[in-house]
Amino acid sequence: MIGKKIILASALIGVLAFGGEQFAMSDADRAMYAEMLENNPADIMIESGNELLEEYCGGDAGLAKFLGVSEDELPAYIAGFPRYIDKLGMVVGLDQVLQALMAQNGHKPFALKSSEMFDMSAYAKSIANEEKINIDVNANEQMKAAYALGEEVFTTKRGGRGLSCMSCHSPDVVGSVLRTQPLPDLGSEANKAGATWPAYRMTKSSLRTLQRRFQGCMNNALLAVIPLGSPEMVALEVYVTEKAKDREIAIPGLKR
């Protein structure tokens, strides 16, 4: 165990040199964080996402209809994403459902990486606020396969430094500190990434999705960046969301 940590530590030393983005929270940052918790700057983006959903997707009712559930069932249903959606023939994130719904309504879908899509998908997920994450990775063959692929992507070492997501986010190393930044346990109550993204990222001053956050780590750790919405990326979202199972959804999250 100790040997393993030393090997990891030396693998990480090179990484520590990247970018100026990793810094601990100063007292001033901490005060700002406390203030933002009271009044999340992303609340206004969620509101704009609500308006976009009305305009392009027929609002909550349009989304429920597209998903084949009643409006009452919608929150719990949303708490189970990513899901295998029969009419799309694949496991998809909520953002891809919104794209399909926009297309069905005769609109050009927002790009997955657009701020409009971040706002709209954040609003859509917030419909499930206070529900518990109820993703079922054994629901069908497609979900089983997505979970297995997600685990593979999470644990496979890649890039010049030979790091995987697991190198920094495994139970062995969480609680350790990387250049003064604690390594988060993605499934913990304190972090519960699957239940708190989309989130407002203070260091980026913007609302980001979980998949976009994955890309941030890929960039920092010099892993080739996987495109949003690709089977590997959705699989990674399935795998990470499973870790937050039964944790309460609270959108928009607020992150450093």
Give yes or no for residue 186 binding ligand HEC (CB under 6 A).
yes
Q: Give me the DSSP letters along 115-153.
A: HHHHHHHHHHHHTTTTSBP---TTSSHHHHHHHHHHHHH
DSSP, collapsed to helix, strand or coil, labels residue 19 as: coil
Q: At its nearest, how many Å lie between ligand HEC and the CB of residue 107?
A: 30
Judged by CB under 6 A, the chain residues 3 through 22 that form the site for ligand HEC are 12, 15
Other CB atoms within 10 A of residue 201 CB = 19
DSSP, collapsed to helix, strand or coil, labels residue 68 as: coil
Stretch of residues binding ligand HEC (CB under 6 A), selected from 30-38, 49-57, 80-88, 160-168:
160-168
Give yes or no for residue 78 binding ligand HEC (CB under 6 A).
no
Give yes or no for residue 193 binding ligand HEC (CB under 6 A).
yes
Rounded (10°) angle between helices 115-126 and 94-104: 110
Q: At its nearest, how many Å lie between ligand HEC and the CB of residue 201?
A: 8
x-or-dash string of contact with ligand HEC, 107-146, rule CB under 6 A: ----------------------------------------
Amino acid letter for position 143:
M
Alpha-carbon distance of 99 to 111, in angstroms, equals: 8
Q: Which of 168, 207, 228, 249 binds ligand HEC (CB under 6 A)?
A: 168
- Which residue lies nearest ligand HEC, judged by its C-beta? 165
